[in-house]
């Protein structure tokens, strides 16, 4: 009896599993390979469908895995648009020929030149700044003016860092190398390591460690603090805009590009234009606490309250070009 | 040891099947190994001077600690539950398997979140004992070894429990009557008989520890796997990354060789008389209490505590169970896991029988190759499979008639067949080790007796071997089923468009650090895993009851 039941279950399961259901697309669709997930702003895609009638089909994965899959699929890829959370990945995808140039006046108007590819292969849709976070209880504003100052001996035992395996830190170091050269950046990172930093999981973990008193200063993306402050306006951590007298705060983009073998190119361009237009920018940035990339859109009041900052004008593409060097530098300096 | 079956055609077929299945496991690895043509001296020099020594040291220590810990814990618990009765012992019998259902990275994160500086435990300590009160840093090698031991001991427990259940009381009685103490009898009779199963379980636990990336990254421990990831995705250097992965494979080779050796050459025949528990009196008094407490402690730490924390998070995150969104995920997860488990166990049988029937090099090599996939880190195997599938698709599809090729989705890349093939490559060892341990317990005299009575090979396998192998097959099926449900990197990379699983849902939330929000899908994975655990236990009970009745 059990045997019969088991074999029946097995047979039907096999049948169900191996049934190939061809996608009979009555509706227009655009397929997006995305490493953005759960930023809280996913409703913009529903808005897009409502406005244009084009359905958005997602394939989510890590930056790297999405890239490898896109590359392996080649000309047979169903992907029309690649969305990432980091410019370095876009740079790499463009370099590998996975993204096709797009000439669109709308996109060029919506996205400032330093936040898009010079050849139009990718465009930023949201900005994030990676700057210094400090405890409001134990640190005075102005005590940590630069990334380099984190290496001051006074922060020994009081510094928290996220692992250098994380893409955001790699991009930060890469952008710094692009601006100042490897030797100076290596010195800086060595100074950070000499302060015996506490390594934490994630920027949220870092901010919570500062709040709990495990350390006093660290580096974090702006939107993580935004989310924490929204939940608890009295959260005892604040941001200091780094290098305002120097080259400015490191800025990264989350962005997208149309794939070379896109089957629905027009729809993909329409989606990008929609995402960078003022209406969607307000929702996108509003829900995810990122900064809008469209200069015509103001950031959330809370973010506005942090003041304007001078951003590094080096262009986000530099992060990709120097990423490998950044990882090797981190290894040499002992930044784990 | 081989049993010659007269039909050479049958033997040949079996060997061919084994060779093909071994190729399926090897293909993704070969796709990566082609990288070796490209020397990467500069990267290796850099790695050797910076992160490699630490990575190798940590990897070796982790594997050793986890192997030792899960071995000792698994065997001790299995023996306790197999031979003694004490309050709740019948419950613990199957309950001690429950940690299998929880993904290691989830349990790891729960412990880190609980015990880190900003977490509730240390917060309470600081409130009670002043700001200076601290615990040692949980994000360390000892931390991750502890958590992985808790999560992986069920591998050893499951297999050892099965082996101890097969022991005959008369063997132990003979030992005792010859003057051996209880401990000595255990050491010299029970342990050697269960050695293949224990070695298999420990090897599985160690291989899982070697290949793990999620848990070690939560604990911030630098292992070889982390180095591979860093080189691959940080330095954009897939070639060097696969060269590093080959170091890992070498370690696994060594590990499996040791496991094969420690399986020993002893053959203990199955005598289905009284179970060994019959000769041990039930525990009473403080001893019973202690046994109960020990089991409860292990289960509490490994399962109840993480589950409780997940439930609390599920409520506080406000993320509710939405049937329209979540049921398809559960359906996909269960479907994929069941088919993959069935496929893998079938493959394991092919490998095991090929070795049994024809002990020559080909069969042995096929069996050895089949195990490799398990110790390759998930992301590495996934990309290897992807590259391999893409290559096959590129070669095959242009030759199909134009109309067919346009309509057919990619054969392997991003298809269900491809995903299942990747699962097979990844988890073949998980099914193979228990099946081989079980088959190894069946001595040649069984086959010879059946042959003299005129049974064909098929009848021999179906009527003699199958009932005796049921426990091993069930264990193998369960292990693969639960592991596929928890599996993340291969699923994330190779799944067909629109086929999301629960593990993907967990990833979507944890990638942005929203661990509380990941509680609901994590709990669903655990709940889905409980069903096969309970099922396997009930079946095991039924079979043990059956064989007891037959023997009586």
Q: B280-336 pLDDT, tens per residue?
A: 888 888 888 999 999 999 999 999 999 999 999 888 877 666 777 778 888 889 899
Confirm or reject contact between B330 and chain A (CB < 8 A).
no
Q: Which helix (H) or strand (E) element contains residue A326?
A: helix A323-333
B552 vs B548: CA distance, rounded Å: 6
pLDDT exceeds 70 at position B458: yes
Provide the shortest C-alpha distance from residue A102 to chain B (in Å). Answer: 25
A56-60, A135-139, B354-358, B539-543, range with the lowest pLDDT: B539-543
CA distances from B25 to A66, B211, B387, B538 (A): 23, 16, 14, 32
- For the stretch A112-168, pLDDT in tens is 988 898 899 999 999 889 999 999 999 998 899 999 999 999 999 999 999 888 888
- CA angle B156/B161/B162 to nearest 5° reads 105
Q: In degrees, to the nearest 5, what angle opens at C-alpha A304 toward C-alphas A301 and A308?
A: 170
Any CB–CB contact under 8 A between A230 and chain B? no
CA B368/CA B261 separation, integer angstroms: 13
* B413/A contact by beta carbon, under 8 A: yes
Q: B127, B144, B222, B236: best mutation site toward chain A, by most A Cβ within 10 Å?
A: B236
Helices (H), B489-518: 489-494, 502-510
Using CB atoms, pick whichever of A69, A205, A328 lies closest to residue B513: A205
CA distance A6 to A16: 15
Please provide the average confidence, as pLDDT, over all residues in chain A.
Answer: 86
Is the model's pLDDT at B181 over the cut of 80?
Answer: yes
**In this complex, is the C-beta atom of B516 within 8 Å of any C-beta atom belonging to chain A?**
no
Burial-class residue B417 by CB neighbours within 10 Å (0-12, 13-18, 19+): middle
Arithmetic mean of pLDDT, B215-244: 84
Considering only CB atoms, which chain B residues are within 8 Å of A73? 390, 410, 413-414
pLDDT, residue A25, reads: 46
Q: What is the average per-residue pLDDT within A278-296?
A: 86
Q: Does B493 touch chain A (CB under 8 A)?
A: yes
SS3 B62: helix
- Strands A29-34 and A55-60: what pairing? parallel
B263-275 pLDDT per residue, tens: 666 555 555 667 7
Query: Does residue B413 register a pLDDT over 80?
Result: no
Q: Grade residue A24 by pLDDT with cuts at 50, 70 and 90.
A: very low
Strands A123-135 and A217-221: antiparallel
Q: Per-residue pLDDT averaged across B216-226, rounded?
A: 88
User: What pLDDT does residue A11 have?
Assistant: 58
Q: pTM of this prediction?
A: 0.85
Do B236 and A9 make contact, defined as CB atoms within 8 angstroms? no
Per-residue confidence (pLDDT) for residue A201, from 0 to 100: 85
Q: Are B226 and A13 inside 8 Å of each other by CB? A: no
Taking the CA of residue A323 and the nearest CA in chain B, the distance in Å comes to 7
Please give the Cα distance from B215 to B47 (Å, whole number). Answer: 23
- The tokens of B550 are what? 């037959």
Report yes or no: A92 and B236 within 8 Å, Cβ to Cβ.
yes
SS3 A157: coil
Give the model confidence (pLDDT) of B348-407 as tens digits. 998 988 888 877 788 888 888 888 888 788 877 887 888 888 888 878 777 777 666 555
The Cα B261–Cα B268 span in angstroms is 16
The answer to whether B270 contacts chain A (CB < 8 Å) is: no
Q: What integer pLDDT is reported at residue A22 of this predicted model?
A: 40
Measured CA to CA, the distance from residue B186 to residue B174 in angstroms comes to: 12
- Rounded average pLDDT over B417-430: 90
B23's tokens: 């190729």
Contact A205 B118 (CB under 8 A): yes
- pLDDT higher than threshold 50 for residue B551: yes
| Structure-model confidence comparison of residues A136 and B162, the more confident one | A136
Which pLDDT value is given to residue A267?
Answer: 93
Closest by Cα among B104, B2, B436 to B256? B436
CB B232 within 8 Å of CB B371: no
Whether the predicted pLDDT of A20 surpasses 70 = no
Output the 3-class SS for B113-161.
Answer: HHHCCCCHHHHHHHHHHCCCCCCCCCCCHHHHHHHHHHHHHHHHHHHHH
Q: Which residues contact A125 (CB under 8 A, 6 or more apart)?
A: A83, A253, A254, A255, A256, A272, A275, A276, A281, A284, A293
Residue A42 vs residue B154, higher pLDDT: B154
Residue A236 contacts B, CB cutoff 8 Å:
no
Tell me whether B382 touches chain A (CB under 8 Å). Answer: yes
Partners of B493 on chain A (C-beta within 8 Å) are 61, 65, 68-69
Q: Which A positions 16-55 lie with beta carbon below 8 A of chain B?
A: 16-18, 20, 22-23, 31, 35, 37-39
Rounded distance between C-alpha atoms, residue B302 and residue B155, angstroms: 13
Say whether residue A9 is in contact with chain B using an 8 A CB cutoff: yes
pLDDT band at B337 (very low <50, low <70, confident <90, very high): very high
The string of pLDDT tens digits covering residues B443-457 is 888 888 888 888 777
Residue B233 has pLDDT above 70, yes or no: yes
Output the average pLDDT for chain B: 83
pLDDT recorded at residue B271: 55
Does B148 have pLDDT greater than 90?
A: yes
Nearest CA in chain B to A213: B118
B229 touches chain A (CB under 8 A): yes
SS3 letters across B374-390: HHCCHHHHHHHHHHHHH
User: Residue A72 is nearest to which of B47, B390, B542, comparing CB atoms?
Assistant: B390
Minimal Cβ distance to A204: which of B229, B513, B542: B513
More confidently predicted of B285 and A15? B285
Taking residues B109-119, what's their average pLDDT? 90
Band of pLDDT at residue B547, cut at 50, 70 and 90: low
Structure confidence at residue A217 as a pLDDT band (50, 70, 90)? very high
């Amino acid at each position: 009896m059990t045997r019969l039941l088991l074999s029946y279950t097995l047979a039907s399961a096999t049948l169900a599993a191996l049934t190939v259901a061809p996608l009979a697309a009555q509706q227009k669709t655009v397929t997006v390979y995305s490493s953005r997930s759960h930023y809280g702003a996913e409703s913009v895609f529903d808005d897009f469908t409502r406005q244009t009638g084009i359905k958005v089909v997602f394939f989510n994965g890590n930056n790297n895995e999405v890239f490898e899959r896109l590359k392996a699929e080649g000309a047979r890829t169903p992907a029309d648009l690649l969305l990432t959370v980091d410019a370095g990945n876009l740079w790499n995808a463009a370099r590998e020929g996975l993204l096709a140039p797009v000439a669109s006046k709308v996109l060029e108007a919506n996205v400032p030149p330093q936040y898009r590819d010079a050849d139009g292969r990718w465009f930023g849709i949201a900005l994030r700044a990676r700057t210094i976070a400090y405890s409001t209880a134990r640190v005075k504003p102005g005590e940590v003016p630069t990334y380099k100052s984190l290496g001051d001996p006074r922060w020994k035992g009081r510094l928290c860092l996220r692992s250098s395996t994380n893409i955001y830190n790699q991009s930060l170091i890469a952008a710094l190398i692009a601006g100042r050269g490897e030797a100076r950046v290596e010195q800086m990172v060595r100074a950070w390591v000499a302060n015996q930093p506490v390594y934490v999981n994630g920027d949220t973990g870092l901010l919570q460690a500062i709040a709990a008193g495990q350390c006093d200063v660290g580096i974090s993306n702006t939107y993580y603090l935004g989310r924490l402050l929204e939940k608890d306006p009295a959260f005892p951590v604040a941001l200091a805009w780094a290098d305002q007298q120097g080259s400015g705060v490191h800025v990264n983009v989350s962005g997208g590009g149309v794939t070379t073998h896109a089957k629905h190119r027009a729809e993909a361009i329409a989606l990008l234009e929609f995402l960078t237009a003022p209406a969607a920018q307000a929702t996108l940035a509003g829900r995810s606490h990122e900064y809008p990339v469209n200069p015509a859109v103001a950031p959330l009041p809370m973010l506005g309250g942090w003041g304007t900052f001078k951003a590094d004008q080096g262009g986000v593409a530099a992060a990709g070009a120097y990423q490998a060097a950044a990882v090797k530098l981190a290894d040499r300096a002992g930044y784990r | 040891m081989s049993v010659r079956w007269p039909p050479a055609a049958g033997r040949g077929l079996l060997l061919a099947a084994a060779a093909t299945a071994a190729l399926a496991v090897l293909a993704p690895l070969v796709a990566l190994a082609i990288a070796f043509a490209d020397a990467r001296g500069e990267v290796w020099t850099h790695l050797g001077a910076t992160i490699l020594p630490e990575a190798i040291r940590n990897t070796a220590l982790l594997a050793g600690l986890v192997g030792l810990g899960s071995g000792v814990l698994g065997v001790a618990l299995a023996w306790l539950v197999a031979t003694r009765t004490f309050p709740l012992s019948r419950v613990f019998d199957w309950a001690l398997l429950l940690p299998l259902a929880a993904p290691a990275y989830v349990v790891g994160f729960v412990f880190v979140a609980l015990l880190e500086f900003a977490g509730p435990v240390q917060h309470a300590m600081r409130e009670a004992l002043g700001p200076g009160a601290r615990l040692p840093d949980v994000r360390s090698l000892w931390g991750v070894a502890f958590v992985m031991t808790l999560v992986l001991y069920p591998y050893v427990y499951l297999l050892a429990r099965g082996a101890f259940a097969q022991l005959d009381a008369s063997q132990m009685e003979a030992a005792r009557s010859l003057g051996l103490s209880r401990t000595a009898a255990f050491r010299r009779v029970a342990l050697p008989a269960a050695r293949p199963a224990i070695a298999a379980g420990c090897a599985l636990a160690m291989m899982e520890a070697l290949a793990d990336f999620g848990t070690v990254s939560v604990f911030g421990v630098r292992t070889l796997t982390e180095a591979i990831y860093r080189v691959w995705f940080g330095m954009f250097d897939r070639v060097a990354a696969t060269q590093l992965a080959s170091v890992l494979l070498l370690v696994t080779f060594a590990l499996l060789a040791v496991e094969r050796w420690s399986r020993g050459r002893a053959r203990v025949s199955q005598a289905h008389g009284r179970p060994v528990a019959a000769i041990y009196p039930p525990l009473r008094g403080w001893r019973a209490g202690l046994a109960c407490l020990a089991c409860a402690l292990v289960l509490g730490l490994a399962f109840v505590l993480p589950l409780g924390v997940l439930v609390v998070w599920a409520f506080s995150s406000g993320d509710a169970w939405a049937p329209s969104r979540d049921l398809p995920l559960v359906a996909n997860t269960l479907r994929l896991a069941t088919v993959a488990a069935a496929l893998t166990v079938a493959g394991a049988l092919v490998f095991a029988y090929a070795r049994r029937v024809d002990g020559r090099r080909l069969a042995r090599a096929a069996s050895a190759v089949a195990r490799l996939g398990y110790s390759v880190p998930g992301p590495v195997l996934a990309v290897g499979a992807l590259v391999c599938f893409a290559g096959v698709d590129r070669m095959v599809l242009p030759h199909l008639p134009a109309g067919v090729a346009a309509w057919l989705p990619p054969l392997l890349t991003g298809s269900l067949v491809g995903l299942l093939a990747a699962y097979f490559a990844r988890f073949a060892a998980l099914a193979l080790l228990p099946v081989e341990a079980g088959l190894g317990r069946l001595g040649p005299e069984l086959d010879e007796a059946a042959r003299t009575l005129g049974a064909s090979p098929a009848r021999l396998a179906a009527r003699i071997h199958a009932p005796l192998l049921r426990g091993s097959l069930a264990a193998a099926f369960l292990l693969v089923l639960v592991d596929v449900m928890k599996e993340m990197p291969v699923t994330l990379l190779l799944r067909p468009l629109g086929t999301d699983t629960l593990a993907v849902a967990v990833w979507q939330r944890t990638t942005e650090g929203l661990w509380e929000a990941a509680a609901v899908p994590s709990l669903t994975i655990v709940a889905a895993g409980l069903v096969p655990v309970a099922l396997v236990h009930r079946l095991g009970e039924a079979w043990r009851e059956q064989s007891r009745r037959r023997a009586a």
